[in-house]
Structure 1
Amino acid sequence: MEILSIPPFLDYYDKVRERTLRLISVVPPDQLDWSYKPGKFSIGDQIRHIATIERYMFAETIAGRPSAYQGCGKDLADGYDNVVAFFNELHQQSLAIFRQLSDADLQRKCTTPGHVEMRRWKWMRAMVEHEIHHRGELYIYLNLLGVKTPPMYGLTAEEVAQNSTPIAGTEKNPMK
């Protein structure tokens, strides 16, 4: 999908972010430092990472500047409320950069941290994919902790299966 215009992209990205925020809202504050394995991102690291990569890598390079990403540690924001505020603040900063772009700017190239030149719209698409990737990891982390997570699009897979009519010959429901 080629991104041709900033306003529709920002509307789409806002919906992606809403789903991420719904998930973050169920993170137990006392589990923010939990990780499935020593040396791996904690839940808080995951949230800070989405924020810092968006702002300091994607937004900077889209603006024509080099990446300024320096990590996602607790030194940036610690404690649930501070992490969420940090997440939202960096997103607002990124949006301010994206709103300055013209539709023609989307076709101009930027240089990624890997020294690859690509059209800005492709880099923006990669930014969305990056957030979705880490949101998926957060779902897994929270499921490992037994936290009930919100369905992504309103229904769980089990609810969709319950509300669906089987295709002839497929009466056995693999979800049961």
Structure 2
Amino acid sequence: MEITTVTTFIPYYDKIRERTKRLLAVVPPDSLDWAYMPGKFTIGDEIRHIAAIERYMFAETIAGRPSSYSGCGKALADGYEAVMAYFDEKHEESMAIFRALSDEDLQRKCTTPGNATMPIWKWMRAMVEHEIHHRAQLYIYLNMIGVKTPPMFGLSAEEVAGYGKG
């Protein structure tokens, strides 16, 4: 999918973020430090990572600046309220950068931290894929600790299958 206009990308990305926010709404505040094994991202790290990488890697390179992403540890935000506020704040900062783009800017080349050069629209698509990837990890993490997670599109797979049995 090629992203051709900013005005179509913004509402699309808003819907992606809404799905992520629905999932974050069920994160138990006392589970932010849980990880499935030592040395792996915690639930809080995953949330901070989505926020920090969007703002400091994707948005910075889209704005023509080098990535300034430096990790996703507790120094960025610690505790449930702080982590959720950080998540929203970094997203709003990123969205201001994206809203300032023109449709022509989407064809402009940016340089990724891996030194690849690509049109901004492709880098924006990679950003969306990145968020979806980490959201999926959060679904798994939350299921592992017994949290009932919201269905992605309104119905669970079991509910959809039940409709077919009439």
Task: Name which one, 1 or 2, has greater alpha-carbon Rg.
Answer: 1
After superposition, what is the alpha-carbon deviation per residue over 1:106-126, rounded to whole angstroms, capped at 9, x for unaligned?
001000000000000000000
Correspondence 1:116-127 to 2 at 5 A:
116-127=116-127
- Amino acid in structure 1 at the alignment position of 2:83: V
For 1:132, the equivalent position in structure 2 comes to 132
Equivalent position SS for 2:69: coil
CA distance in 2, matches of 1:164, 1:13: 31
For 2:3, the equivalent position in structure 1 comes to 3
For 1:33, the equivalent position in structure 2 comes to 33
Q: Deviation above 3 Å: which 4+ runs of structure 1?
A: none
CA distance in 2, matches of 1:164, 1:46: 36
Offset at residue 165 of structure 1 (A): 5.5
Is 1:64 paired with 2:58? no
Equivalent position SS for 1:26: coil
Q: Which runs of 5+ in 2 are unaligned?
A: none
Offset at residue 7 of structure 1 (A): 1.2
Correspondence 1:2-151 to 2 at 5 A:
2-151=2-151
- Amino acid in structure 1 at the alignment position of 2:125: R
CA distance in 1, matches of 2:45, 2:130: 15
- Amino acid in structure 1 at the alignment position of 2:34: W
Equivalent position SS for 1:96: helix
Give the TM-score, by structure 1 length.
0.93
After superposition, what is the alpha-carbon deviation per residue over 1:75-101, rounded to whole angstroms, capped at 9, x for unaligned?
100011110000000000000000110
CA distance in 1, matches of 2:54, 2:27: 21
Equivalent position SS for 1:46: helix
Offset at residue 164 of structure 1 (A): 2.1
Equivalent position SS for 1:118: strand
Equivalent position SS for 1:30: helix
After superposition, what is the alpha-carbon deviation per residue over 1:101-151, rounded to whole angstroms, capped at 9, x for unaligned?
000000010000000000000000000000000000000000000000000
Is 1:159 paired with 2:159? yes
For 1:173, the equivalent position in structure 2 comes to none
CA distance in 1, matches of 2:109, 2:16: 24
CA distance in 1, matches of 2:69, 2:38: 23
